Structure 1
Amino acid sequence: MPPPAHPALIVRSLDTYPHTAHEPFVYAPKGGLLTLASAPIAAASFVLYPERGRWFAPTLADVALHKGMLISRVQAAGTPVVAINTHLSANYRGDWRETSPYARTERAQLRQLAEVVAAQPPDAIVLVMGDFNVPRGTWLYEEFLELSGLTDPLAGDERPTYRPHSGIPARYALPIDWLLYRAPPLPGLEVSADLCFDQPIPFVGSGRGFLSDHIGVQITLSWDTSDSVLQ
């Protein structure tokens, strides 16, 4: 949950992505979401998840942060691109059965997200990304892909994207970060994806470490027009 100064620090450090979007909030970007792009962002909006759990429960942080989805619109080689950045409520028991109250909250959020995806223009590339707090391959994952019409370029990949801190059971190391897409018919479309930032890097000054307790996911789409590479 970064303080308000952190978005500016991140932007200054990533000059290859000079265009940014976030919804200002009291103590952090609303929902904890910040989107950076190499192309100008034509429009951005934030959609709140009304269902975020209870105030007097471990879900307090999810409720207070106002989790939701940040929708940004850019152009790539004349093709509209809609980037939906999201962070679902945490599942504090690691219980994704249908009877779990945490899973029910996540299901409500995923269904709302699927409705937003379905409302996007059919000629646009739609990218949906973030910390879903739901493991790939669970019934919630499968249901969401069916409802949204999105494709997971890493379907079946069981590599964990979460690195539990000391004291957190290793069973929480799961593939809970996804980058999904929907694309219109584009000539020669090719899609590839992989994990990134999965190794320690040098810090400014001294030392090495990971950028986050989560591992990044990257996607590349290319098609047969000039300058048609989207990363």
Structure 2
Amino acid sequence: MRLEDLPHAHLLQRHTGPLRADARYDTVHFDDLALTGQFGGAQFLECAFTAVRAEEARLRRASFNEVWMQGGRLVGVDLAESEWQDTEVEGCVLAGVSAYGSAVRRTVFRQCKLESVNLRGAVLRDVVFEDCLLRDVDLAEAKLTDVSFPGSTLEEVRLRGAVLKNADLRRAARLDLPDGHLGLRGAIVSTPQLLDLAPRFAQALGISVQD
């Protein structure tokens, strides 16, 4: 998707000045912006973010509704307890991001890299990770409903204590799940994936396999 393809593209106004905590931003275009500081509780409605760089910024309890984010880089950002709805995130890097306790609904991550992202206790519903890399992502105690991973690589993704419902893993390019295998109840996997996961399931169940 391109910026001009957004249904509200003609309403977007380029952002000027500093960002403020607890402020509401409606149909604003944030472009080539470097963010550091405290912006907790900010609300973004029908906004666009292009080439935005955020480092050690605090956006705790921020909300993103009908937002399009492209080519961004978020490093060490605090997004704990944030809310994401009807949002698209494309070609972005999220590294060392804290997003525990967040609520993510009807959101697409496309061609993104998520590394060392903390999503513990998050609620994900109708979320798609398309052609993404998820490395060292913590989904412990999270709730995943109708979540899919087409073309994505999952490396060191932790699911201990997670609750899954219709979580479709069949089209994932790779599944590397070091723990939480008993929490895969409610997931959908392919036969080859099941065979690959069998040793981990046996270990989790305390089954000794000997020939």
**TM exceeds 0.5?**
no
Relative contact order, CA 8 A, sep 6+: which one is greater? 1
* TM-score normalised over the length of structure 1: 0.26
More strand by share: 2
More helix by share: 1
* TM-score normalised over the length of structure 2: 0.28
